[in-house]
Amino acid sequence: MSKLATLCLLVPLLVSANRTALRLDIWEGAPPGETLRMATGVNPYGAVKDTRRENVFTPDIEFFPATVPGSPLVLIFPGGGYNILAEDHEGVGVARRLQSLGCAAAVVRYRVPRRDPQRPWTVPLLDAQQALKIVRQRASEWNANPEKIVALGFSAGGNLVARLAYQPNASDESRPNYAAMIYPAYLLDAGQDNKVLLSGPDGVTPSPGSHPAPAFFVHSANDPVPANGSIALAGAVRLAGASAETHIYATGAHGWGVNGSCPASREWPELFAAWLRGQGVLVGK
């Protein structure tokens, strides 16, 4: 066989190996807490339809390495009401944008649809905690610093980040170093006229004096998911002893991610990068 023919055979193998290295299953073996049965012949990683990923049974992480060692690593949790994942404008598109700003990024594809209608975050939170454990252990593989892990979520993904960072009774090792929530959902007690944060075992309120992860929020004032949730949680984070930066845009409604449909969508990545620089997490640019 000629050298050229050998090279032609090797290139696809190398590309395939690289893709494998940049995608990792979150769990070895069957994911814990599973209550749904996957239909025969279904892709366990879910099917993408019109940028929406559906029916995820094998959660995984897709990595976008930084170019400079020691960079922050942003764990991205797309939204979708805990029923689907907004694959592009709240996932891969965000990762590529943050990668261009000097971050390592990783999209976490947690399990959907809801396994528990009353507590839909239960199984996704297991996936999120395990994803955080993986990236802490292996951050250097993607030019990231394990002490600079930022959890970033959108809508339901923002709710998941709030739980990952602030839910009571979790160990510090299972929490991110920083938390960013873009129009986070399900933060408020529906019985309290959307003005009071959920509390108790299922709540998202950090304990006073606990010095939780510094927080970053972006929301639209005309969002049907009330911006009061972001404002209230930011206040609770400050009361607990950490900083919180909040940006409320007049317009934009909900679900814009990085789709460019409104000023908030176009501007928040730069605001986020400036916040990371202010925290001493991101250097340069």
Q: Going from the N-terminus, what domains does the chain have, and what CATH number goes with each?
A: 43-278 (3.40.50.1820)
CA distances from 240 to 27, 154, 189, 211, 243 (A): 33, 23, 20, 6, 9
Q: Assess whether the previous peptide bond of 113 is cis (omega < 30° from 0).
A: yes
Q: Where are the alpha helices (DSSP H) in the chain?
A: 3-21, 93-100, 122-138, 156-166, 228-239, 263-278
Q: pLDDT at position 125, please?
A: 97
Helix (H) or strand (E) holding 282: none
Structure tokens at 115: 């396994």
Q: Is the pLDDT of residue 225 over 60?
A: yes
Q: Cβ neighbours of residue 169 under 8 Å, at least 6 residues apart?
A: 201
Q: Is the pLDDT of residue 19 over 50?
A: no
Three-state DSSP class for 53?
strand
Q: Is the pLDDT of residue 18 over 80?
A: no
**Residue 21 — pLDDT band, cuts 50, 70, 90?**
low
Q: pLDDT at position 14, please?
A: 32
Tens of pLDDT, residue by residue over 38-88, are 999 999 999 999 999 999 999 999 999 999 999 999 999 999 999 999 999
**Residue 16 — pLDDT band, cuts 50, 70, 90?**
very low
CA distances from 57 to 21, 33, 53, 106, 276 (A): 20, 11, 11, 19, 33
Residue whose C-alpha is closest to residue 107's, from 147, 138, 152: 152
Contact 169, 201 (CB under 8 A): yes
Per DSSP bridges, beta strands 52-54 and 47-49 are antiparallel
Listed as own residue / partner, the contacts of 87-90 with beta carbons closer than 8 Å and 24 or more positions apart are 87/48, 87/51, 87/52, 87/53, 88/51, 88/257, 89/51, 89/256, 89/257, 89/258, 89/259, 90/154, 90/155, 90/157, 90/182, 90/255, 90/257, 90/258
Give me the sign of the Cα torsion angle 114, 117, 123, 124. positive
Q: What is the mean pLDDT of the chain?
A: 91
CA dist 235 and 226 (Å) reads 15
